[in-house]
Structure 1
Amino acid sequence: MFEKLYDETENVNVQFVGFTTEDVRYDFGIVFTNMFFGKPLVVCMQTGRSTLLGSEELEDTDHLKSVFRIHSYEEAKELALFLKETLPYATLDAQYE
């Protein structure tokens, strides 16, 4: 027995971005949706690992290290900086305050 919580269909925008650091290449699919309080779903194309990322999650380097299995604090900082420049958080977070 189960209780369905939601079943939504939505046309979404998806952005594919890739970048490299000195040691690592990253390829992400970013799904922009109205679900999940407007937080985009960020999917690592190499590992399939994904997470919802709002501005508060980007400030938590340990969270990024854990979700994307990054071993270096510096790599996690570089990823956070890249995503801050890529994702339009000013408009997303403001509408849900």
Structure 2
Amino acid sequence: MYEKLYEEHEQARVRFIGFTTNDIRYDFGIIYTSMFFGKPLIICMQTGRSTLLDHTDIENAHHLKNTFRLRTEEEANDLAEILRFWLPSPPLHAEYE
């Protein structure tokens, strides 16, 4: 027996990006969705590890390092720099529009 919490269907935009730094190669899928408070789902295609991230979350290098099992804080900072470009900007609050 279980209680269904939700079932949503939507046409989501998906982007696949691959890039390298001096030390490591990255391959990610980014699923842009209106679910999860608008946070995109980021999936590492090499490890299958995933998380929801927005611009605030990528400022936490420790979180990125742990989530994607990166070796150093420098790798986490490199990843954050790339993700800043691909993640949507925070939405403006209604009072600023």
**TM-score, structure 1 as length reference:** 0.91
Spell out the pairing of 1:50-89 with structure 2 (5 A cutoff). Answer: 50-89=50-89
Spell out the pairing of 1:82-97 with structure 2 (5 A cutoff). Answer: 82-91=82-91, 94=92
Structure holding more helix per residue: 1
SS of residue paired to 1:26: strand
| CA distance in structure 2 between the partners assigned to 1:80 and 1:90 by the alignment | 15
> Looking at CA atoms only, which structure, 1 or 2, has the larger radius of gyration?
2
Contact 2:54 2:87 in 1 (8 A): no
Long gaps (5+) in structure 2: none
Spell out the pairing of 1:1-97 with structure 2 (5 A cutoff). Answer: 1-91=1-91, 94=92
% identical aligned pairs: 55
**Counterpart residue identity of residue 59, structure 2:** E
* Superposed CA offset, 1:8-46 (max 9, x none): 111110001111011100010000001000000000000
Long gaps (5+) in structure 1: none
| CA distance in structure 1 between the partners assigned to 2:39 and 2:86 by the alignment | 13
**TM-score, structure 2 as length reference:** 0.91
| CA distance in structure 2 between the partners assigned to 1:15 and 1:6 by the alignment | 25
| CA distance in structure 2 between the partners assigned to 1:95 and 1:36 by the alignment | 17
Return structure 1 stretches of 4+ with deviation > 4 angstroms.
none
**Counterpart residue identity of residue 90, structure 2:** A
